[in-house]
Amino acid sequence: MKNKQNQRKVRLAGMGKALAGRQLCFDGHTRYRLAPGETLLDLAEKAAEEALSRSHMEISQMDCIVCAMATPLQGIPCNAALIHERMAKGLNIPAMDINTTCTSFLSALDMMSYLVAAGRYSRVLILSGDTASAALNPGQKESYELFSDAAAAAVLTKAEDSDPSAVLYGCQRTWSEGAHDTEIRGGAGLLPALALTEDNREDYYFDMKGIKILRLCTRVLPDFVEECLKEADVRREDIRLTIPHQASKALGVIMPRLGFEKGTYIDRVQQYGNMVSASVPYALCEAIEESRIHRGDLILLMGTAAGLTVNFLLLRF
């Protein structure tokens, strides 16, 4: 690591995760969708309770609540205020949203690590999760059969001097040539929910142009990854485990092309599909539970997001 001055001494104290209650199967691929009466708030609360319990902490000890989700729960207020109401009502913990769509967890962890390292906050609860099922288009098979509803959460704390845990390097880039390759055009400011008619219904569904995204990723990802590895001064073989965003089954094609051999990264697309902002923290939490990661290991979180945004985040776990 040459950029030691940019290391942030923080620790993922504990993580948790939750899957929606209804299980579907498409051609051998398992997907999870909200059961009747279930909401993202239920999943997020469950994941957060698990993260807190594994950190041996209570919600009242958190001094910041961050929702790192791709989609809003309501038009107003922000998601973190609604989670706060569920878990922290009566406490005055600050609540805020950080959003880079599918890589929101990486962005939130990256950004909050600066605030924790600087002493502004000591214990931050970060929650990710989305319910793509709220806007999936039954007429668009590729996306309709890809997504799962899930949540994941993490408690981020300051790392003691004797603790090797740290965020070592973070990088984000956005190529807005891809801004409309993954989108939900309607429901918000530009095309309000109240403007819904029988004729423009399609605009309110999730819309994914898989081939276009793949083409843009193929163009920009190789250089991006090389530059990040170089700037972080790390070699692929030094990384214990890479946890990429589980964008689609193209993952198994793209990762080897980026120089990450099978077995060095997590691919759970068949088991869960794309869990939007929960994909990376869910897979990270599972890898910790399965002891694929140990304290002191070098791990890489990376991913693509609607935007097109890409994130690269190197941690000493």
Name which of residues 113 to 132 contact a second copy (CB under 8 A): 114-115, 117-120, 130-131
Report in angstroms how near the CB of residue 110 gets to a second copy at its nearest: 9
Cα–Cα distance measured from residue 61 to residue 63, given in angstroms and rounded to the nearest whole number: 6
Report in angstroms how near the CB of residue 13 gets to a second copy at its nearest: 21
Size of interface with a second copy, in residues (CB under 8 A): 78
Report in angstroms how near the CB of residue 260 gets to a second copy at its nearest: 21
Q: Select from 155-163, 201-209, 248-256, 260-268 the region that touches a second copy (CB under 8 A).
A: 201-209
Q: Which of 6, 122, 140, 264 binds a second copy (CB under 8 A)?
A: 6
How many Å is the Cα radius of gyration of the chain?
19
Cβ proximity to a second copy: between 89 and 294 the closer is 89
DSSP lists the bridge partners of residue 24 as 31
Q: Which of 36, 189, 198, 291 binds a second copy (CB under 8 A)?
A: 189
Cβ proximity to a second copy: between 139 and 263 the closer is 139
Cβ proximity to a second copy: between 244 and 307 the closer is 307
Cα–Cα distance measured from residue 189 to residue 197, given in angstroms and rounded to the nearest whole number: 16
Residue labelled with tokens 């965020």:
167
Cβ proximity to a second copy: between 288 and 303 the closer is 303
H helix or E strand, kind and range, residue 280? helix 279-289
Name which of residues 67 to 96 contact a second copy (CB under 8 A): 70-78, 80-82, 84-85, 88-90, 92-96
Cα–Cα distance measured from residue 107 to residue 100, given in angstroms and rounded to the nearest whole number: 7
Q: Which of 100, 128, 246, 304 binds a second copy (CB under 8 A)?
A: 100
Neighbours of 105 (CB within 10 A): 33
Name which of residues 52 to 71 contact a second copy (CB under 8 A): 65, 70-71
Q: Is 315 in the site for a second copy (CB under 8 A)?
A: no
Cα–Cα distance measured from residue 17 to residue 30, given in angstroms and rounded to the nearest whole number: 17
Residue labelled with tokens 């609860």:
125
Q: Which of 42, 183, 233, 267 binds a second copy (CB under 8 A)?
A: 183
Q: Is 36 in the site for a second copy (CB under 8 A)?
A: no
Strands laid side by side in the 241-244 sheet: 166-174, 309-316, 298-305, 241-244
Cα–Cα distance measured from residue 20 to residue 139, given in angstroms and rounded to the nearest whole number: 22
Pairing of the two strands 150-158 and 10-19 = antiparallel
Cα–Cα distance measured from residue 269 to residue 158, given in angstroms and rounded to the nearest whole number: 33
Residue labelled with tokens 């997504």:
147
Cβ proximity to a second copy: between 90 and 263 the closer is 90
Q: Which of 36, 139, 162, 190 binds a second copy (CB under 8 A)?
A: 190
